[in-house]
């Protein structure tokens, strides 16, 4: 799929690419079906910004001040309105190789969706409840940045320990799941000991990406009491190649759902519309055919990206350039709005049918999972896709 309509002149995302004439990875943007190596364009900006455009990841560019980034984005939009420049420098997207956009420094996966918590508890325990801490602040855990990979990277079915009746067994995961998520990529860092106020959170967010936090449900379920996810999550996390800036998403700012209780002062929002209307969809890919699984929206989330920055730093923990703060599964109330198979299959108890008649509860070897995200017309993220391969030999 080309996703041409995701990449209008109103978007101008950032990514990292190489091709036959660019052996070294460098910063690119995309306009419709064309990719542009930014160092080749006659753009306005400081020497440090221009140097960042030749780097093999976006870290240096992400650390640039917001004022300079806004100037760069405006310059790119002006230059790419010139058809001569587009014709001369545009590379067909199928002729370039997209790489990891950032060298990820840290990874925190949060829980931002109230509906996900309700749906998951219903699936696992037969009743809809949310964790006691959830209404007070966004809960999260530290993940493994080492296993975050670019869209398209195969994901090997993990092995681990899980409950089998009254016994504990070791083997390949039997309940492999996906999680429909987004994440913000940190640009401006903070100092250890400092707290980033909510009103300044946007200054620290370089942009947003799609994220699939693959989940081994049996392994995860056994290890989560009392310490939380580890091997059930750390075997692989997929991200999309394009980082979409907050400036591109400004027209789609919205007010999030109301709070159930009064939140602490450091999470009291001062911005009228601190969230975004971004449609998220997931599809299961099998034997060349796609079955739609879910459609949800970022605007439904109880906690925002700004909240994640404030919560991550409230205790003095520093955030660094290229850190990834993820939302957790983004779900709604409807049966077609479940952002993972744990919810959709009631914990593996109810199967569903693919377009070719196959049955599934969880992902099988060879299955693919494709996530897409878009905000209105012309601003999208493309896709985040991964295919499951056989487990390693036991």
> Is residue 232 within 8 Å of 216, Cβ to Cβ?
yes
| Claim to verify: residue 55 and residue 123 sit in the same structural domain | no
The pLDDT value recorded for residue 125 is 87
The pLDDT value recorded for residue 393 is 63
- Identify the CATH number of the domain in which residue 316 sits: 3.90.850.10
Alpha helices in the chain (DSSP H): 47-52, 59-62, 66-79, 83-89, 114-125, 217-227, 246-249, 305-313, 341-344
Instruction: Tell me the C-alpha distance between 367 and 241, whole Å.
Output: 21
Q: What is the mean pLDDT of each run of 10 residues along the chain (394 residues)?
A: 94 98 97 98 94 98 97 98 97 98 98 97 90 97 97 97 94 97 98 98 98 97 91 98 98 97 96 98 97 98 98 98 98 97 96 97 98 95 96 72
Q: In what order do the strands lie in the sheet with 205-213?
A: 139-142, 107-111, 324-326, 180-186, 205-213, 237-239, 148-150
341 burial class (0-12, 13-18, 19+ CB within 10 angstroms)?
Answer: buried
Instruction: Tell me the C-alpha distance between 385 and 94, whole Å.
Output: 16
In the annotation, is 116 catalytic?
yes
Binding positions for Mg(2+) are 213, 233, 237
| Claim to verify: residue 159 and residue 274 sit in the same structural domain | yes
Domain range for 359 is 107-389
The pair of structure tokens assigned to 90 is: 């545009």
DSSP letter at 14 equals B
| Claim to verify: residue 50 and residue 140 sit in the same structural domain | no
The pair of structure tokens assigned to 313 is: 């730093």
The pLDDT value recorded for residue 226 is 86
The pLDDT value recorded for residue 2 is 86
> Is residue 76 within 8 Å of 113, Cβ to Cβ?
no
| Claim to verify: residue 214 and residue 281 sit in the same structural domain | yes
DSSP letter at 243 equals B
| Claim to verify: residue 216 and residue 273 sit in the same structural domain | yes
Q: Which of 99, 125, 146 finishes a domain?
A: 99
| Claim to verify: residue 70 and residue 145 sit in the same structural domain | no
* CA distance from start to end of the chain: 37
| Claim to verify: residue 156 and residue 80 sit in the same structural domain | no
Residue 394 domain-assigned (yes or no): no
How many domains is the chain partitioned into structurally? 2
The pLDDT value recorded for residue 391 is 85
Q: Which of 99, 128, 148 finishes a domain?
A: 99
Strand partners, 121: none
The pair of structure tokens assigned to 39 is: 């160092």
Residue of 116, 136, 195, 204 marked active site: 116
User: What backbone torsions phi and psi does residue 157 show, to the nearest 5 degrees?
Assistant: -60, 125
Binding positions for Ca(2+) are 109, 179, 181, 213
The pLDDT value recorded for residue 394 is 63
Closest CA to 355 of 260, 287, 303: 287
Binding positions are 109, 179, 181, 213, 220, 233, 237, 329
């Amino acid at each position: 799929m080309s996703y041409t309509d995701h990449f209008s002149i109103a978007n101008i995302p950032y990514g990292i690419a190489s091709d036959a004439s660019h052996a070294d990875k460098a910063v690119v943007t995309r306009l419709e079906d064309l990719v542009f190596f930014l160092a080749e364009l006659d753009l306005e900006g400081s020497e440090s910004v221009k140097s960042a455009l030749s780097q093999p990841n976006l870290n240096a560019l992400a650390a640039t001040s917001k004022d300079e980034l806004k100037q760069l984005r405006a310059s790119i939009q002006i230059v790419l309105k010139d058809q001569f420049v587009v014709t001369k420098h545009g590379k067909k997207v199928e002729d370039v190789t997209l790489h990891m956009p950032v060298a990820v420094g840290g990874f925190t996966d949060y829980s931002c969706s109230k509906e996900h918590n309700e749906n998951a508890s219903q699936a696992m325990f037969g009743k809809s409840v949310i964790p006691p801490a959830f209404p007070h602040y966004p809960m999260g855990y530290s993940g493994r940045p080492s296993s975050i990979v670019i869209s398209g990277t195969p994901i090997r079915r993990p092995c681990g320990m899980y409950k089998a009746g009254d016994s504990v067994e070791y083997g390949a995961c039997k309940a492999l799941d996906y999680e429909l998520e987004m994440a913000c990529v940190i640009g401006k860092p903070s100092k250890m000991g400092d707290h980033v106020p909510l009103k300044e959170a946007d200054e620290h967010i370089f942009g947003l990406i799609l994220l699939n936090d693959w989940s081994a449900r049996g392994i995860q379920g056994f290890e989560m009491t009392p310490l939380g996810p580890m091997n059930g999550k750390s075997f692989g996390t997929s991200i999309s190649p394009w980082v979409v800036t907050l400036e591109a998403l400004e027209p789609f700012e919205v007010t999030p759902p109301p709070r159930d209780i009064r939140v602490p002062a450091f999470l009291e929002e001062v911005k009228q519309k601190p969230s975004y209307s971004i449609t998220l969809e997931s599809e299961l890919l099998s034997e060349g055919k796609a079955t739609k699984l879910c459609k949800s929206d970022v605007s439904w989330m109880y906690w925002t990206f700004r909240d994640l920055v404030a919560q991550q730093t409230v205790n003095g923990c520093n955030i660094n350039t290229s850190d990834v703060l993820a939302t957790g599964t983004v779900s709604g109330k409807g049966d077609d709005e479940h952002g993972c198979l744990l919810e959709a299959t009631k914990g593996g108890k109810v199967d569903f049918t693919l377009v070719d008649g196959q049955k599934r509860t969880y992902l099988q070897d060879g299955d693919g999972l494709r996530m897409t995200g878009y905000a209105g017309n012309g601003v999208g993220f493309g896709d985040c896709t991964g295919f499951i391969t056989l487990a390693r030999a036991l």
